Amino acid sequence: MKGLLLLAAVALVGTVLDCGARQPAAQAAAEQQDLASALSEAGANPLEYLRALERHLAKYPDTPRRAELERAAARAAIEAGDDPAIILYGERVLARQPDDVETLDRVARALSLSERKDAAGRTLQYARHFEELLRQMQADPAHGGVTVAEWRDRTDRALARALCYEARAAGTLGRADQALTLARRSFETYANAESAREVARCYERMGKFADAARALADAFTVTDPRNTDDDRARDRQRMGDLYRRATGSQAGLGDVVLEAYDRNQAGLRARQLRLRAEDPNAQLKNAMEFTLSRLDGPSLRLDSLKGKVLVLDFWATWCGPCREQHPLYAEVEKRFAANAGVVFLSVNADEDRALVKPFLAQEKWTGPVYFEDGLAHALTVMSIPTTLIVGKDGKVFSRLTGYVVETFVDTLTERIRAALGE
């Protein structure tokens, strides 16, 4: 957090330095000095950082960098959890950048929590646009540079939030049936405690207290790392009150909770199966069980190579050192061409996979290329080029991060032979 604020402060001061062409040099210098001093005093405290920006905007209302400063204020407000400031500065950011997904998320949430009818219409507008952008993101073939399963998980979780904001706004506007439908869709999209509570609120408004208690049993039992013990305690108390209101006592409430637990566990297992259908590597712990998709050809199950020594070359089209290393890597591969016990795998780490085929043609690289499909994360590959040697037992035997031109070929050769036991 401290690092992010310091980086933001440096960037903001830098933008003010560029103002000379649009404002007198003396005024630009004075503004730059004031901003640098104010942000330095604010330090790493997001609330103080926000207040410093607000004071600066008040002092320099005609600053040519108002847009950047208000965006920084919106970020600081989000870090500080200051809902009124999130709404104030976030809406100004969205007026300029309506597709800013993070700001849409936080502004819609802050507005929905206010439960004001005059804000509910804006909540719906932002939340619906947030939902629209998320559905477009789900179709992104680059899937955010993460695995298909991780991308689906992230976007589904965000979609559930968008639908929950819409449900809350519809409820505030008195549209009970619409609110309930949206809240249910939110929970079905990604089961979580907040969506379950919104379903309960909808039922409670309708006077369906037993249904509301059942929805709170979902909130109480659902697997949700964001749900705290205090949250569950409040859900338990409210669930008991609503159930008693519906039935006259709490007799039978334990069965409702157990049913909710079983229902949510079954839902979790079903979701995991769906993710595995989309991404065979979803939830895998052992990297050697991964399946890697291939640029041109069938996918490869790494466990099908068990008992062999694997040499994994992690690279990307944008990586200059990868190009320079490639002929050295190819020389090592030639040395083991006759050894069926050694398998060399070219593993591409590009986010945009459409770049790979033309790159290979341009560089005249040959041989099969596989996509990392989450393997880099599983094997803690933090930079490229990286070469990993996996032993016959399926465990990482050696790791070379980067390369030294003069020694790479011999070093990699020696390590492969050591993995072979030669």
Residue 172's alpha-carbon distances to 41, 72, 167, 322, in angstroms, are 41, 31, 9, 56
The H-or-E segment that residue 390 falls in is strand 386-390
Q: Is 164 a catalytic residue?
A: no
CA distance 214 to 228: 19
- Residue ranges of the alpha helices (H) in 115-147? 117-138
Q: Are 292 and 330 spatial neighbours (Cβ–Cβ below 8 Å)?
A: no
Coil vs helix vs strand at 170: helix
CA distance 69 to 58: 11
What's phi and psi for 351, nearest 5 deg?
A: -70, -40
Q: Which of 19, 164, 202, 322 is catalytic?
A: 322
Residue partners of 266: CB distance under 8 A and separation at least 6 = none
Q: Give DSSP secondary structure letters for 77-90.
A: HHHHT-HHHHHHHH
**Max CA distance (Å), the chain:** 82
Q: Is 319 a catalytic residue?
A: yes
Residue partners of 145: CB distance under 8 A and separation at least 6 = 351
Six-digit token string for 174: 């008195």
Six-digit token string for 380: 């803690």
DSSP 184: H
Q: Which residues are catalytic?
A: 319, 322
